[in-house]
Chain A
Amino acid sequence: MEKTVNQKAWFLILPVLLLVAFSAVIPLMTVVNYSVQDTFGNNQFFWAGLEWFEEMLQSERMWDALGRQLMFSAVILTIQVPLGVFVALNMPKSGFWSSFCLVVMSLPLLIPWNVVGTIWQIFGRVDIGLLGYTLDALGISYNYTQDTFAAWATIIVMDVWHWTSLVALLAFAGLKSIPDAYYQAAKIDQASRWAIFRYIELPKMMGVLMIAILLRFMDSFMIYTEPFVVTGGGPGNATTLLSIDLVKMALGQFDLGPAAAFSIMYYLVILLISYVFYTVMTNLDKKGG
C-alpha cells in the first residue's frame, strides 16, 4: 500500500512511545547504570568502568551457561523444524479433521508455561508419572532430578511437545497458500513426491519457515519457566540455561554489577537476532506474503 508522508502521525504513536519507554527504557538504563558501577552497600556506588564486563567475559560460569543454552537451542531446532514441517505435510487440508487437528495442536501453545513445567514434572516422575513409570517398568533407569541425561531429555521432549505445533501451524499456513495449479502442473510432469516437496512446497514455505525458525530460536534462547519448574536448573548446574543463571545471579545473590553486565550482553545478542528477524519480516511484507 502506498503510504503518505505525515509527521503528525507521531501523535498517534506517542502513547505507545511513553508507555514502552516507561517499561523498557528506564529499566534498561538502570541495568546499564549498574553494569558500570560497584557498590559496598548503603546505596553508595563507585565507577567501575568495564570491570564487570571483563569479569563476565572471563567467567567460566557465563560461558558454560551460554554453551548449554546454544546446545539447547540447537537441539530443539533440529528436532522441531523438520518434525513440524513433516506434521504440516500430513495435516488434512480442509474439513472437520483439519479444524480438529488445528484445535488439538494449538492446545499446548496456550498452556501457561509453569503449568507446562508442572505437567512434565508429574508426567516424568517414576512413582506417579505415566512416562517415568513406563520407562521404569521397561527397565530403563530414568530420573530427571539426578541424572543429567534424563534431565536434558525431559526438557527437550517437553519443549518439542510445547512448541513443535507452532512450527507445524506456520508451515501449514505456508502450504495452504500454494495454488492447486502448481500441484496439477507437477502431476503432468509426473514429479515424484520428493520433487514436489523440494521444488514446490519448500520454496513456497521458505518465508514462513524462516519466521518459525527465528521465533523458535529467540524464544528458546530466553526460556526460563519450563525448565525452572521441572529441574530448577539441576542436577547441579546441568540445565542452568542463560535466563535461569541470570535470575539466580540478579535476584538470588543480588550481584548487581555482574548480573547487569551479563544482562547487557544477553540483550545485545537478542538485538542482533531481532534485526535478522525484522529484515526477514519486511522482505516478506514486500513480497506480499
Chain B
Amino acid sequence: MFDATVTPKKRFKVKGSVVVMTIYLLFLMLPIYWLVNMSLKTNTEVLNEFTLWPRNLTFDNYIKILTDPSWYSGYINSIIYVLLNTVISLSVALPAAYAFSRYHFMGDKHLFFWLLTNRMAPPAVFALPFFQLYSSVGLFDTHIAVALAHCLFNVPLAVWILEGFMRGVPKEIDETAYIDGYSFGKFFVKIFTPLIASGIGVAAFFCFMFSWVELLLSRTLTSVDAKPISAIMTRTQGAAGIDWGVLAAAGVLTIIPGALVIYFVRNYIAKGFALGRV
C-alpha cells in the first residue's frame, strides 16, 4: 500500500546526494593525496617541477626515515608512551566506570562532572606546571612522564566511554552471578569483561588516538630520550632548506595507525568523540 521505496522523485534526489558526497569526499582526500604524492617524490622534483603525480617514483624518503635513528626513534618513543598511557588509563578506568554505572554514592555526580572538566581542560594551561612537576620528581624526558600527563584527558575519556557501554548491560547479570557465588573480582574478569569487550576496544582505541595526536604536552615534557615523532617533525620545519619529501613521508607514517583500524571502528567514531553518549 505504502510503497515508499522507489519513486521517480526519490531516484532523482539520490543523484543530488551522490554529487554532494563526491564533492565532500574529494575535498577530504585531496590534501591527503597531496601529502602522499609529495612523499613519493625526490626533493628536486618537489621544488623544481609542479607535478600532479610523482614522475620519478621513489621510496627514498621512507627508507631514510626507517633507517635513520633520529627519525625512527621518534616513532618508537611515541608508541611506547601511547601504549603505556592506554594501559594505565584503561586499568584505572574500568573499575571506576563500573562504579559509576552501577552505584549511587556520596558525590558521584560531582566526581563525574569533575572528570569531564579534565577532558575539556586546555593542555596549554597544564604545559608549564607539568614541566615543573615532572622536572622536580626527576621524570622529565621519560616515556612515563608523557604517559601520565596524557592521563589528564584520557582517563576521563575512558571512564565516560566505558560507563556509556556498561550501562547497556542489564544489572540482572551482576545479581545472578553474585547469587551463583562469584566474587566481585571473578565476576568482573570472567563474565563482565567479555560482555563489554567492544566497549573496551573502543575506549582503548580512543586513548591510543588522543595520545598519539597530541603534540603540546609531549613536546614540552621531552627533550632527547623520549622525543615523540610529532616534535621531531615540527623542529625540522624551522631549519632552512626543508626536505619536504621526508617531512611528507613522516606525516604519512603517522597516519598509518589510524588508517589501519579505521574500518573496524567506523561505527564507533561518533560515539568515542561524544564520550560514549550517542
Q: A-side interface residues toward B, CB under 8 Å?
A: 1-10, 12-13, 15-17, 19-20, 22-24, 26-28, 30-31, 86-87, 89-92, 99, 101-115, 118-123, 127-131, 133, 161, 165-166, 169-170, 172-174, 183-184, 187-188, 193, 208, 211-212, 215, 218, 221-222, 224-225, 229, 242-244, 246-247, 250-251, 256, 259, 263, 266-267, 270-271, 273-275, 277-278, 281, 284-285, 289
Please list the 6 inter-chain residue pairs (A to B) with the smallest Cβ-Cβ separation, ordered nearest first.
A110-B258, A27-B129, A222-B122, A90-B17, A12-B99, A243-B124
Q: How far, in whole Å, are A197 and B167 apart by their CA atoms in the complex?
A: 31
Chain B 251-263, CB-CB to A under 8 Å as 1, else 0, gives 1001100110011
Pick from B20, B121, B214, B273: contact of A87, CB below 8 A. B20
Judging by beta carbons under 8 Å apart, are A99 and B214 in contact? no
6 A-B residue pairs with Cβ-Cβ distance under 8 Å, sorted by A, are A9-B102, A87-B21, A110-B213, A130-B34, A224-B216, A278-B112
Judging by beta carbons under 8 Å apart, are A30 and B133 in contact? yes
Interface-side segment among B57-65, B150-158, B194-202? B150-158
Closest residue of chain B to A285 (Cβ to Cβ) is B277
Judging by beta carbons under 8 Å apart, are A24 and B251 in contact? no
What 14 new A-B contacts, CB under 8 Å, besides A10-B99, A30-B133, A120-B31?
A4-B104, A10-B105, A19-B155, A24-B121, A99-B263, A110-B262, A118-B237, A170-B278, A173-B270, A215-B274, A224-B122, A225-B214, A271-B117, A278-B112
Count of chain B residues with Cβ under 8 Å from any Cβ of A? 101
Q: How far, in whole Å, are A270 and B125 apart by their CA atoms in the complex?
A: 11
Closest residue of chain B to A243 (Cβ to Cβ) is B124
Tell me which residues across on chain A come within 8 A of B116, comparing CB atoms.
274, 277-278
Q: How far, in whole Å, are A193 and B275 apart by their CA atoms in the complex?
A: 32
Judging by beta carbons under 8 Å apart, are A251 and B27 in contact? no
Tell me which residues across on chain B come within 8 A of A284, comparing CB atoms.
277
Q: How far, in whole Å, are A259 and B125 apart by their CA atoms in the complex?
A: 9
Tell me, rounded to whole Å, the shortest Cβ–Cβ distance linking B156 to chain A.
7
Judging by beta carbons under 8 Å apart, are A278 and B113 in contact? yes
Known: A101-B21, A284-B277. A20 touches B262 (CB 8 A): no
Judging by beta carbons under 8 Å apart, are A114 and B21 in contact? no
Judging by beta carbons under 8 Å apart, are B155 and A273 in contact? no
Tell me which residues across on chain A come within 8 A of B265, comparing CB atoms.
106
Pick from B25, B46, B106, B255: contact of A111, CB below 8 A. B255
Tell me which residues across on chain A come within 8 A of B47, comparing CB atoms.
127-128
- Which residue among A24, A87, A104, A105 has the maximum number of chain B CB atoms within 10 Å of its CB? A24
Tell me which residues across on chain A come within 8 A of B40, comparing CB atoms.
none
Pick from B50, B111, B277: contact of A128, CB below 8 A. B50
Judging by beta carbons under 8 Å apart, are B273 and A166 in contact? yes
Pick from B103, B121, B127, B254: contact of A9, CB below 8 A. B103
Judging by beta carbons under 8 Å apart, are B216 and A225 in contact? yes
Judging by beta carbons under 8 Å apart, are A161 and B92 in contact? no
Pick from A103, A119, A277: contact of B31, CB below 8 A. A119
Pick from B167, B220, B247: contact of A118, CB below 8 A. B247
Tell me, rounded to whole Å, the shortest Cβ–Cβ distance linking A253 to chain B.
11
Tell me which residues across on chain A come within 8 A of B152, comparing CB atoms.
20, 23-24
Tell me which residues across on chain B come within 8 A of A187, comparing CB atoms.
2, 4
Within 8 A of A (CB), among B28-43: 28-32, 34-35, 38
Known: A5-B104, A9-B105, A211-B278. A115 touches B233 (CB 8 A): yes
Chain B 224-253, CB-CB to A under 8 Å as 1, else 0, gives 000000100110010000001001100100
Tell me, rounded to whole Å, the shortest Cβ–Cβ distance linking B251 to chain A.
4
Tell me which residues across on chain B come within 8 A of A172, comparing CB atoms.
270
Known: A122-B248, A187-B2, A229-B237. A247 touches B127 (CB 8 A): yes
Tell me which residues across on chain B come within 8 A of A12, comparing CB atoms.
95-96, 98-99
Tell me which residues across on chain B come within 8 A of A119, comparing CB atoms.
31-32, 34-35, 251
Q: How far, in whole Å, are A267 and B120 apart by their CA atoms in the complex?
A: 9
Judging by beta carbons under 8 Å apart, are A103 and B271 in contact? no
Q: How far, in whole Å, are A277 and B120 apart by their CA atoms in the complex?
A: 10
Closest residue of chain B to A186 (Cβ to Cβ) is B4
Tell me which residues across on chain A come within 8 A of B191, comparing CB atoms.
none
